[in-house]
Chain A
Amino acid sequence: MDGTFENRWDRLIRPGMVHGSLYSDEEIFREEVEKIWFRTWVYIGHESEVPDINDFVTKTLGPMPVLMVRDRHGEIQLLLNRCPHRGNAVCVQEKGNRARFTCPYHSWTFANSGELINYAFPEGYQGVDKSKLGLGKVTRVERYRGFVFGSMAAEGPTLKEHLGGAIRTIDQLCNNSPTGEVEISAGFLRHRTRANWKFILENECDGYHPAFVHSSIFSVSDSAIGDLYGDKALAVTRAFGNGHTEVDPRPEFRNCDVPMSWFGTTAARLPEYTRQMIETYGDTRAREIMIDGTPHVMIFPNLFIAEIQIFVIQPVSAGESIQHCTAIQFKGAPDINRRLRQQTMGSVGPAGFLLADDTEMYERNQRGLEIREPEYLFLKRGEHRERRDEDGYLIGHSTDDLPSREIWKHYRAIMEAEV
């Protein structure tokens, strides 16, 4: 490294350029775990994954497994699956329904709200305060419209403050459900990739790649997605701050003015869904919602709402990640739900028409970093045409690098902050 006195972050993150080591250096990865994954709000799961009392499901917070539990009082708990005695796992089941978790090693038993209920041969523990030996928990838990987030930081912004303008996108998603509620109930496809999590994060709102990476499927199907990411597309990219970014195709859909065209179909082909939407929202509002469709938003650092599916990004190490993906289901809308699942299964997961190729690109990017020159990645596309929308958020053309630049701006702010 030259320029010994240069600030480390000035060197790694330059205007419109980021250093390759940010994706491959294990030391930086460990720092990210502490400063990003264990500090900021991280998406964990959806309430609908634990609908009943005592339901639980294994989720992750960064590289760490977390038990998302609906405890006996109906509260959502995020428990750490580590026995306070010797570190064993208190649960090796991926999901189920349990009021208690018992460690198999010495039979310590915990309530599903985390408290230690009892241990074997208790006379061996004189004067020990059981109340201090409960399971660890994710420090703060908040939800927004069923989406459960956790933060390991005792203090900091509220979830709503963290989400900021991106709240609109979650509302937009839920409004496409005739009950105003979405469900995550179809189970996840888990796709492992030998690539850094930030290549995935940045790709989600990169509207420059679809025309090339996905040309194979666009050329053999009647998908209209490709048109949203053309050079002449009206769609915009937007940065909400705090690292949240979206591709907003609504200008394109509003121009087209046909309900359900966002989903490649028509209202007439989904008569029951259309009837339910009109019943809930009235003719005018239902029509608006069904024209705008669902969002395409990357909520930093790990929740990607991709129109009809969600992806949860799990970092494993600097060079490895897992994408968890599933179809979004609109509560009480079976006719559209089947199509949501069918389209999702076609597109995503290890064999998906789209994601197999995105993931191939991540892996090639990652391997490319082993080549020494040039050291920096180039993110200046559309710098000259950034502008502010009516709400003051930065927007750019749908094919611009604006989302990446704004992600890196936020990344630097949290990595530089003193813990």
Chain B
Amino acid sequence: MSTAEKTEGPPDILTEWIGAKKSYRYSEDLLLYHEISQFIYREARLQDPHDYDGWEALWSDDALYWVPANGADTDPESRMSMIYDNRSRLALRVRQLKTGRRHSQTPPSQLARVISNLELLEAKGEEIRVACNVQIFETNLRGDVMWGARNEYHLRRVSGALKIAYKKVVLVNNNKAIWTLSFLL
């Protein structure tokens, strides 16, 4: 055991919450920006009414779907995450929802989400990396909840169509006790 103090000073909550600094790109390719924003709006449009098959079809075969807990850049290979799904677990999540006996989604949450602040992180090469913010209003049997998150996507062209290879959802309050969250984020 070390006797030296590891840290002193104020809690570094911002580092934990914001995570590593990202570099954003100004997009001069308006068509690409338009294509990406339309794709992400389409995902939202499938999610709100719980179009599970439509949503699942957006993902690549090797996809990773990650909702960390207790910070933005935690190590999902050593720390607990709210969701850390590889492609087969994501499919399992969808299959469970489709049974109609996923009680926390029976009746399904009524949702409306707003996507904004869409910016490109990287648009060269194979993967297009995108950041955006989302606010989701949920109402269910318990009551109303407002969710807020910063999302990051890695999109990839597969046979001409955009697919989600990676989606990370950093809930703003992921270091607090939160209500059940069983709709698709």
Minimal Cβ-Cβ distance residue in A for B8: A98
Chain B residues with CB below 8 A from A151, complex form: none
Which residues, 51 to 100 on A, are CB-close (under 8 Å) to B? 51-54, 72, 74, 92-94, 96-99
Q: Does A361 belong to the interface (CB within 8 Å)? A: yes
Q: Does A237 belong to the interface (CB within 8 Å)? A: no
Which residues, 91 to 114 on B, are CB-close (under 8 Å) to A? 92-93, 95-96, 99-104
B177 touches A361 (CB 8 A): no
Q: Does B42 belong to the interface (CB within 8 Å)? A: no
Stretch at the interface among B30-38, B46-54, B66-74, B149-157: B66-74
A350 touches B179 (CB 8 A): yes
Interface residues contributed by chain A, number (CB under 8 Å) = 52
Chain B residues with CB below 8 A from A74, complex form: 1
A351 touches B176 (CB 8 A): no
A363 touches B141 (CB 8 A): yes
Main secondary structure of the interface of A (DSSP, over half): mixed
Stretch at the interface among B55-63, B76-84, B126-134: B76-84
With A190-B178, A191-B177, A356-B104 known to touch, is A220 a contact of B82 (CB < 8 Å)?
no
B96 touches A217 (CB 8 A): yes
Complex Cα distance, B92 from A342, in Å, reads 14
Q: Does A194 belong to the interface (CB within 8 Å)? A: yes
Q: Does B160 belong to the interface (CB within 8 Å)? A: no
With A52-B6, A326-B80, A345-B84 known to touch, is A193 a contact of B180 (CB < 8 Å)?
yes
In the complex, how many angstroms separate the beta carbon of B15 from the nearest chain A beta carbon? 12
Q: Which of B7, B74, B100, B182 has the most CB of A within 10 A?
A: B182
Which residues, 152 to 185 on B, are CB-close (under 8 Å) to A? 175-182, 185
A219 touches B1 (CB 8 A): no
Chain B residues with CB below 8 A from A72, complex form: 3
A192 touches B103 (CB 8 A): no
Complex Cα distance, B1 from A51, in Å, reads 8
Complex Cα distance, B4 from A97, in Å, reads 9
A364 touches B141 (CB 8 A): yes
Closest A-B pairs by Cβ, 6 of them: A190-B177, A93-B11, A97-B6, A216-B101, A220-B95, A360-B104
Q: What is B's interface to A at a CB cutoff of 8 Å? A: 1-3, 5-8, 11, 67, 69-70, 74, 77-84, 89, 92-93, 95-96, 99-104, 141-143, 175-182, 185
Question: What would 15 more interface pairs be, CB under 8 Å, given A356-B102, A359-B180, A363-B142?
Answer: A51-B1, A54-B3, A54-B5, A74-B1, A96-B7, A96-B11, A99-B5, A186-B78, A193-B180, A217-B92, A345-B80, A349-B69, A353-B93, A356-B181, A359-B104
Can you show 5 pairs from A to B with CB atoms below 8 A apart? A99-B5, A192-B177, A345-B84, A349-B82, A360-B103
